[in-house]
Amino acid sequence: MRHWGTDVMVTRRGLIVCAAGLVVAKSALADLTITPAQTAGPFYPRFKPDDSDMDLTRVQGAPGAALGEVIEVQGRILSLKGHALRDAVVEIWQADTRGRYRHPGDRSFFSSPDPNFQGYGAVRTGSDGAYRFRTVKPAAYRAGQLQRTPHIHFRVVDDSNRELVTQMYFPGEPLNAQDMVYSRLSGNLTRDAATARRGPNGNPVRYEFDLVLA
């Protein structure tokens, strides 16, 4: 299993970029675009936490709730033909509202990870291919000399063992255009496929993000 992807590898102290193409395709049967594969980065969990459910805003046994703006991220896992992919495992991991990952490799001197933020979650899709997470909006942070825009990492493995590792971006973020991973997405269709849609106004704010596997 590869946890680093093939396009870029990022560390907090430096940046290594490896060239690789991104595949975007349109289906004749459904107006869908393949979700582009992107790096998992250096902070995929080395060990899965005991508490790894869909609600990242609380940690089992911790006294409080996570800091930051609570959001919900939901969507469907689909084939290029638009078929729902049931029994797919959907994982997410992300920085907290301070820009820190719950990972021993993230050794920022400016803040400590939020002890009430789970940092990682995993769910399995039902017959409709749907998933849902409750989390907080991640902060931007520095990666070497470059800035990373707010984003959430995704890993999807379907029941035939196809794997997609990618990142979800937030619409309207001013740092998106400056982000060294986002800026390597070629074309508006690809960028749209990697960017969530903001749902109807509500509390918490909801973002919709469908993932389409090749």
Where do the domains of the chain lie? Answer: 8-213
Residue 35 DSSP symbol? P
Taking the C-alpha atoms of residue 155 and residue 133, their distance in angstroms, rounded to an integer, is 13
* E strands present in the chain: 8-10, 15-17, 70-79, 89-93, 120-124, 130-136, 141-143, 146-148, 151-157, 163-169, 197-198, 205-208, 211-213
Q: What is the pLDDT of residue 16?
A: 32
| Residue 30 confidence (pLDDT) | 54
Q: What is the pLDDT of residues 172-197, one digit of tens each?
A: 999 999 999 999 999 999 999 999 99
Spell out the SS3 assignment of 64-99: CECCCCEEEEEEEEEECCCCECCCCEEEEECCCCCC
CATH superfamily of 8-213: Aromatic compound dioxygenase (2.60.130.10)
What pLDDT shows up at residue 109?
62
Q: Which of 53, 65, 128 has the alpha carbon at shortest distance from 91? A: 53
Which residues of the chain register pLDDT less than 70? Answer: 1-30, 109-110
The structure's pTM equals 0.85
**Pair of tokens at residue 86:** 């049931």
